[in-house]
Amino acid sequence: MNIPRSSYPRIVIIGGGFGGISLARRLHKKEVQVVLLDKNNYHTFQPLLYQVSTGGLEPDSIAYPLRKVLIGYENFYFRMAEVQEILPEKKMITTNIGVLSYDYLVVATGSETNYYGNDELEKYAMAMKSIPQSLNLRSLILENFEQALLTDEYHERDALMNFVIVGGGPTGVELAGALAEIKKGILPKDYPDLDTRRAQINILQSGDRILNAMSVQASKKAEDFLEDLGVQVWKDVRVLGYNGKTVRTQTDLTFDTATVIWAAGVKGANIKGLDAEQFLARGNRLRVNAHNQVEHYPEIFAIGDIACMQSDAYPGGHPMMAQPAMQQGRHLADNLERLIAGKPLAPFRYKDKGSMATIGRNKAVCDLKRFRFQGVFAWFVWMFVHLFFLIGFRNRVVVFVNWVYNYVRFDREARLIIRPYQRNYDQFRD
């Protein structure tokens, strides 16, 4: 990679997510050279992917050009590249566009969908971790209804209109709520010649409550909200497999469906070279110390979802969310400055700002440090917080316009099949 050496030490950041961007921004004007690598040329605002899948937002409004993040930063370089391997002994990485040496390396690769080794699920279930995946899901949902119009076969039509979401975390809950609102507000008008009352939205949770990282009060209220919207909530149900036609569970319960959305787990998006057992914590995450340093290599750091920093307060590491990533990014920028100056590093301390999830219009749940609340106010707080953390002024305005429009008109206009998802409906039928 033809990046000129400067007199400053070179920090290579792998990944332009919340962690990578927060780190890069904070490194601006420090005496370092920064190389940011990402396989995409844009940052993805993952918390709103479900709204892309359900036609509420256009994909371009939750993406932000990574080059624009670095505009005006001197001695900063961006390269669109996929990192293939880390060679810690040589202080080098290999990528699809060449090799690159580093003085300090920051792994901020985030997480990816975890199918827990189930190949069948990986093959047939839809994931929702990236914009292209979300657009595939958007296309598939719409294609299913177009397809449902074409069949006279009762059972097949029901399966096409049956959505099974596996995983009762925020992603699953938010998607289920959005689908339920589509069922209620859009389907009857868009498909007058289809009995869309028969459409079903099921959410399957392996544990005994949804949103189990939140308070019991939030779980309970979220479940009420979902049921108000007509979502079927199934608890203590573990999915064993899905063959493209039928979801099998640990009980007798099965679901005939054309669409399974897998939101039941993520794992660290690890890279060759640091993928040996010795570096890893649960969920494929890189074990780091309180300075985000990877074991054995004081010049390699990990932040965000991929990093597992175990502490008394967080024995399993921090939650895999935007907040720890951003805080670690900013903290690491200061620590790198200290390290280069030969000063002692400061330990990271996570400031939990709470968590929230939205279920539908006027329906959200918030667990803040001191307050727990649900309903309309929570929903406004949710919107405000998401607008605030969304990157880019234009994106904020466009998202805001869409939300106001969707709210006032009970509508979602981005129900477009721009690139069809090539579902094999014949296979589904056999």
Each residue 189-218 as x (binds a second copy by CB under 8 A) or -, in order, gives xxx-x-------------------------
Q: Does 428 bind a second copy (CB under 8 A)?
A: no
CA distance 335 to 342: 10
User: Could you say which of 92, 340, 368, 417 contacts a second copy (CB under 8 A)?
Assistant: 417
56 makes contact with a second copy (CB under 8 A):
no
Q: Is residue 113 within 8 Å of residue 266, measured between CB atoms? A: yes
Q: Which helix (H) or strand (E) holds 121?
A: helix 119-124
Alpha-carbon distance 75 to 420, whole Å?
42
Residue 67, interface with a second copy (CB under 8 A)? yes
What does the alpha-carbon distance between residue 114 and residue 214 come to, in Å, rounded to a whole number?
21
Tell whether residue 63 is a contact of a second copy (CB under 8 A): yes
Nearer to a second copy, 83 or 218 (CB): 83
For the beta carbon of residue 4, count every other beta carbon within 10 angstroms.
Answer: 7
DSSP 326-357: HHHHHHHHHHHHHHHTTPPPPPP------EEE
How many residues interact with a second copy (rule CB under 8 A)?
A: 51
Centroid of chain to Cα 152: 38
Q: Shortest approach of a second copy to residue 341 CB, angstroms?
A: 27
Among residues 146, 153, 195, 236, which is the contact residue for a second copy, using CB under 8 A? 146
What is the token pair recorded at 48?
Answer: 């709103």
Q: Which residue has the tokens 């719409």?
A: 142
2 is a contact residue toward a second copy (CB under 8 A): yes
Which of the stretches 76-84, 154-162, 273-281, 332-340 binds a second copy when contact is defined by CB under 8 A? 76-84
Cα gap 300→106, rounded to integer Å? 6
Q: Does 154 bind a second copy (CB under 8 A)?
A: no
Q: Interface with a second copy by CB under 8 A: which range of 11-19, 64-72, 205-213, 275-283?
A: 64-72
Amino acid at 45: F
Contacts to a second copy by CB under 8 A: 1-3, 40-42, 58-61, 63-65, 67-68, 71-72, 77, 79-80, 97-98, 131-132, 135, 142, 146, 149-150, 152, 189-191, 193, 392-395, 397-398, 401-402, 405, 411, 413-419
